[in-house]
């Protein structure tokens, strides 16, 4: 990943300064050389949760890849409406992005204090939700049914 927007810089600085005190294993990749896709997806599938930080826009592949690989999504509250979006507390954790990242800290504490069983339950629900609403096929079916109503 690159620091493509101010929010990513805030998150990077926050995580860098809090890694030890959070008591979480945090993987940050900022090398200009991209991780091979297979390795990236393997990292996601082995993670209990993963953070999706928006870049140049509101939406990115990572937002959808995290739940699709069986990890719990941690993302900021987006100012857009996403049809059949992931539900906070059921499929994901959400935070309000600001320069101090105070709310992200609260959410990461929540993640740390959530039982492994509950995280697995959330991941499974999110994976099923992804399969039900967010595959290419499901989105194409929705688009066609909307256009031809």
At residue 93, the 3 state secondary structure works out as strand
pLDDT tens digits, residue range 64-86? 999 999 999 999 998 889 999 99
Residue 128 has pLDDT above 70, yes or no: yes
pLDDT tens digits, residue range 12-53? 888 888 877 777 777 777 667 888 999 999 999 999 999 998
pLDDT at residue 67, as a whole number: 96
At residue 142, the 3 state secondary structure works out as helix
Helix-strand-coil percent breakdown of the chain, rounded to 5?
50, 10, 40
Q: What is the mean pLDDT of residues 100-123?
A: 93
Per-residue pLDDT band for 2 (boundaries 50, 70, 90) equals low
DSSP category for residue 98: -
**Cα–Cα distance, 113 to 72 (Å, whole number):** 14
Tell me the three-class secondary structure of 35-85, residue by residue: CCHHHHHHHHHCCCEEEECCCCCCCCHHHHHHHHCCCEEEEECCCCCCCCC
pTM of the complete model = 0.87
Contact indicator for 45, 136 with CB cutoff of 8 Å: no
């Amino acid at each position: 990943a690159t620091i493509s927007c101010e929010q990513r810089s805030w998150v990077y600085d926050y995580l860098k300064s809090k890694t030890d005190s959070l008591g979480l294993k945090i993987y940050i990749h900022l090398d200009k050389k991209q991780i091979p896709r297979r390795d990236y997806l393997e990292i996601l599938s082995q993670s209990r949760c993963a953070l999706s930080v928006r870049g140049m826009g509101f939406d990115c592949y990572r937002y959808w890849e995290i739940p699709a690989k069986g990890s719990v999504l941690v993302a900021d509250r987006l100012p857009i409406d996403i049809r059949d979006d992931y539900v906070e507390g059921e499929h994901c954790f959400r935070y309000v992005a600001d320069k101090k990242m105070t709310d992200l800290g609260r959410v990461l504490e929540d993640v740390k204090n959530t039982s492994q069983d509950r995280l697995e339950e959330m991941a499974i629900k999110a994976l099923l939700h992804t399969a039900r609403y967010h595959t290419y096929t499901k989105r194409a079916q929705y688009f066609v049914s909307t256009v031809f109503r």
